[in-house]
Amino acid sequence: MKLATAQGGRGTYVALETGGEWIDYTKAHQIYHLLAHDAPGPVLSTLDVMFREGLVSSEHVEPVVSRLGEYGLTERFALSEAPVCLQPHRPGKILCIGRNYSAHAAETGHEAPKQPVVFSKSPAACIGPGCPIRIRETYGRVDHEGELAVVIGKRAKDVRRENALDCVAGYTIVNDVTARDIQQQDIGKGLPWFLSKSMDSFCPVGPAVLLTNALVEPLEADVEVRVNGELRQQSNTRRLIFDVPALIAYITEYITLEPGDIIATGTPEGIAPLVPGDQVEVTIPPIGTLSNPVEAEPPL
């Protein structure tokens, strides 16, 4: 099952994909509450609201779908076509893992790390599917970096590896767009990478959150990036140096994770420049494809 904040004639709402069909989950959840509790539930207008309510998980979503099916009501909430999906949500934190594929570490001139390399992107850089990645000539080289992203479902601190997946709501896709020349300049000066990673529009996210019940652990998901139809990056998450449980255990030793936070697990080899006019697509079955055009930002 997948969840996404969507927009259409009915305004902004949460859409749920189940069994290959999309339904209006915002309305379905309200009816479920009336059936199960004889009282209206919270209006889940976006995934942000669902995360605040602690309701983004298979545990909470599956009873809604099954109860509506039991009463033959599911078709009342069916969408005639796939919704126009916005960004899944605006996370409180975006934590990224550098050089987490050996081949990518090698192509950037580094050895495979002995422990996770953690950095951050600004949540303000998030854009949704179809929104433009905006770049200026003054940025120099700007690269795509397609990645599997973990979406946290409940507060997590000092989590043991064996329990790490209990705090995961699901998975989505992140394109960790990077101003490579600026990054290298900052590294050369001993400065953080934050600026080169956090420019406006440098964090496409989407197209949906795939709930954990749809995946088999240990996670083995193909990751592909195409630019104008040309294959640029291709790998599988089984090649991650540090897998999802290891990353969660490591990060929560130092940082408390909250519902909606994202961990971008790292990009495989094949990073390459983007230029205005490009169309970049990151595909991870069964999450889907995150597609964004690249546009020139007017000079200052």
User: 222-227 and 230-236: which strand pairing?
Assistant: antiparallel
Q: Which domains does the chain have, with CATH numbers?
A: 2-85 (no CATH), 94-296 (3.90.850.10)
Q: What is the model's pTM?
A: 0.95
CA 202 to chain CA centroid, nearest Å = 13
Q: Which two tokens stand for residue 260?
A: 């909606």
Neighbours of 134 (CB within 10 A): 20
Q: Which two tokens stand for residue 128?
A: 């949704």
Q: Is 158 helix (H, G, I), strand (E, B) or coil?
A: coil
CA angle, residues 39, 40, 43, in degrees to nearest 5: 160
pLDDT string in tens for the chain (300-residue length): 999 999 877 789 999 998 888 999 999 999 998 888 888 888 999 999 999 999 999 999 999 998 888 877 778 888 988 888 877 778 999 999 999 999 999 999 889 999 999 999 999 999 999 999 999 999 999 999 999 999 999 999 999 999 999 999 999 999 999 999 999 999 999 999 999 999 999 999 999 999 987 667 778 899 999 999 999 999 999 999 999 999 999 999 999 999 999 999 999 999 999 999 999 999 999 899 999 999 999 888
**Can you tell me the distance from the alpha carbon of 268 to that of 286, in angstroms, rounded to the nearest whole number?**
18
**Can you tell me the distance from the alpha carbon of 223 to that of 158, in angstroms, rounded to the nearest whole number?**
29
Phi-psi region of 119 (alpha: psi -120 to 50; beta: other; left: phi over 0): beta
